[in-house]
Structure 1
Amino acid sequence: MSSDILIVTNGAKESYPAIEQGAWLAKTLGLPIALLGVTEWLNPAAIDAVHPLEAAFEKAVGLFEAQGAAYRLEVRNGSAEKIVPVEARKSDSIVVLSPLGRPHLQRLVAGRSIRAFIEAIAQPVLYAPETRLPVKKILVSVGGLGYDVNAEHIAMRVAKGCGAEAAFLHIIPPIEFDYPTAKEMNEHWQTLTETDTPVGRSLRASLENAKAAGLAASVRVRRGNVIEEILAEMREGNYDLLCMGSSYSAHSLRQMYSANVTAEIMARAHCPVMTARFGG
């Protein structure tokens, strides 16, 4: 179980949603906060100028103290992609990130930083492109292969902590496999929870566990491209948080939510996305 919430900022205003969503997550799960300020660039000629982290820290501390949170402040110099995974391992944290507001040229050279983070960080990651509070509806994207057990566990803790509804989503990809279980899933995808397939049993178990925990829960099944269908369900259902698991196996043909799929969803989603590795 995670021991704290590690909120990351480089001082850019684009990173403020991480502070707000991270503070909410800490309160919801009853965990202390570690605010990690990363100084990625500092002009030596501007030694008397305001430090880029100052405004972000002032905002964060005010928020933490207003909600009575236990917190500590850390500052590191260097690349966030190198620093954050190391810091996350120290306390087995849940890491909360937002866009870091980097210059366009830097983004072109470095690529999408969120993929680098989720590849390097073994701990759960909450990516908040914008603040979405209060959290009333949570979508849990499940592959039915067991890779999503950690994400589902965190989602249930969050839902119970804030009284949110939970919906379990399974996507059947548009690929025809010639074996009985796949045929049954394709033929009965609209009533998947009534089938005796592994996915059907998994969805029923998720639903039963959620209801046993006192949560309002439902199951959603869609058919099509995994990324597009997850994003479509998020839009149509107006969810406040998406939780998804990952097999994180570079050689597995069965991985549903590899780093590139997760990163693509994070880059295109307009609400916070939580990802947790299988076995992480």
Structure 2
Amino acid sequence: MNLLLFVVEHPFLEPAVKLARSLAKQSDSRLTLLFARWEEKGQQRAQTALKEAQAILGDQKIDAKVATGKPVELLFDEIETGRYDMLVVGASKRLGFLKKVADSVDSRVLKEPAIPVMVVTEERPEIKRMLICTGGQEISEPVVKAGADLAEVLGAEATLLHVGSNMPSMYSGLDEMEETTEELLDTDTPLARNLRRGAEILADHEVPAELDVEHGIVAEEILRESEEGDYDLIVMGASGARVNFLGWLQGDVTSEVIDRSPAPVLIVGH
């Protein structure tokens, strides 16, 4: 696996650098550090910050690149080389979501990512428990597969969490909202078939996993489950440029989860 760690001169976010180092060691991956600086005259300051990042990475072997220009454009140019399987970036909880994204990564990277994007806000020593999240009546196979691929490489366990909205059962294919996960899986509804498919993907990757079905406001249920289960990583799909009516009612789930989650969030394109 080839990882791209994107670091800008300001803010310098250590948790992302530390987690990238941990991921590279856990997965025996190649790690490229792309350090972006705004202008040539800040070369001394940029070199100091780069040395700090390299000190955190320690003995981890890296390919270091220093580029000058608009960070977003530099990042897109590097991603478009097609050499990377995942992007790791940092985000500050002191800033609002749009502000912190604008400081390091253009929102397009999160809305329609060409590769999975891991957003890190707080330190995590390693990833051993993953929460893979889906919603609506469909299971996003790219999201489940990306989570399964990473869990297999890291030797992590996973929970496949499906959050359905509190809508009448005539629309969901369920007779009762209180139906258990086991009872649901025994049905022939589209949701049950999709859940079984998600479980098959995880089993094919030999990932120890369990299924959990909840109903409610999607972001709230994801955050609640993440906190109660003490997960090291949340995996979810990108919100995308287009949002359906239910998504409009519930807000931008991806943004809210990133904004409020202490755990890193891996965003996967559909």
Under TM normalisation by the shorter chain, which class is it? Answer: 0.7 to 0.9
Deviation at residue 274 of structure 1 after TM alignment: 0.2
Cα contact 2:169–2:176 (8 A) shared by 1: no
> Which residue of structure 1 lines up, in the alignment, with residue 20 of structure 2?
22
1:76 to 62, 67, 72: 67
Deviation at 1:215, TM superposition (A): 2.4
CA 1:51–1:102 in 2, change beyond 3 Å: closer, same or farther?
farther
- For residues 174-185 of structure 1, the aligned pairs below 5 Å read 174-176=166-168, 178-179=170-171, 181-184=172-175
Counterparts of residues 58-73 of structure 1 (less than 5 Å):
58-62=51-55, 64=57, 66-67=59-60, 69=61, 71-73=62-64
SS in 2 for 1:91: coil
Tell me the equivalent position of 1:31.
Answer: 29
Partner of 2:46: 52
Using the TM superposition, name which of 235-244 and 139-148 deviates more: 139-148
Give secondary structure in 2 for the equivalent of 1:97: strand
CA 1:144–1:76 in 2, change beyond 3 Å: closer, same or farther?
same
Letter in 2 for 1:91: G
Contact 2:38 2:70 in 1 (8 A): yes
Partner of 2:179: 188
Q: Displacement of 1:4 after TM fit?
A: 2.2
Q: Check whether the contact 1:34–1:74 (CA below 8 A) recurs between aligned residues.
A: yes
Residue 254 of structure 1 and its aligned partner are, at CA, apart by 7.0
- Cα distance, 1:112 vs structure 2: 9.7
Distance 1:212 1:204 in 2: 12
Counterpart contact for 1:9–1:38, Cα < 8 Å: yes
CA distance in 2, matches of 1:220, 1:198: 16
What does residue 143 of structure 1 align with? Answer: 135
Q: Name whichever of 165-174 and 185-194 sits farther off.
A: 185-194
Aligned to 1:161: 153
Q: Return the letter of the residue paired with 2:114.
A: A
Normalising by structure 2, we get a TM-score of 0.81
Alignment of 1:2-13 (within 5 A): 4-12=2-10
Pair 1:227-2:219 in alignment: yes
RMSD in angstroms over aligned alpha carbons?
3.4
Q: Which AA in structure 2 matches 1:58?
A: K
Whether the aligned pair in 2 keeps the contact of 1:166 and 1:216 (CA below 8 Å) is: yes
Give the residue type in structure 2 aligned to 1:99.
A
Distance 1:117 1:259 in 2: 19
- When structure 1 is superposed on structure 2, of 145-154 and 14-23 the one drifting more is 145-154
CA distance in 2: counterparts of 1:9 and 1:112, whole angstroms: 8
How far apart are 1:222 and its partner, in Å? 1.1
Q: Within 2, Cα distance between the matches of 1:7 and 1:76?
A: 13
Structure-2 change in CA distance of 1:150 and 1:254 (3 Å): farther
- Does the CA-based 8 Å contact 2:237-2:268 persist in structure 1? yes
| Partner in structure 1 of residue 80 of structure 2 | 89
Tell me the alpha carbon deviations over residues 72-108 of structure 1, each in whole angstroms, 9 at most, x when there is no partner: 222222332333223212125211110269999x949
The aligned length equals 265
Conserved? CA contact 1:129–1:270, under 8 Å: yes
Following the alignment from structure 1 to structure 2, what is the Cα–Cα distance between the partners of residues 112 and 260? 20
Cα shift readout 1:21-67 (whole Å, capped 9, x = no counterpart): 1222233444322211111367x5xx6x8413523x32443455624
Map 1:81-120; keep pairs closer than 5 Å.
81-93=72-84, 94-99=86-91, 107=99, 115-119=107-111
Instruction: Tell me by how many angstroms 1:273 deviates.
Output: 0.4
Letter in 2 for 1:19: V
- TM-score (structure 1 length as normaliser): 0.79
Contact kept, 8 Å, 1:147 with 1:247, in 2: the verdict is: no
Secondary structure at 1:54 match in 2: helix
Shift of 1:241: 0.4
CA contact (8 A) 1:97 1:126 kept: yes
Helix, strand or coil at the partner of 2:213: strand
Which one-letter code corresponds to 1:150 in the other structure?
A: P
SS of residue paired to 1:186:
coil
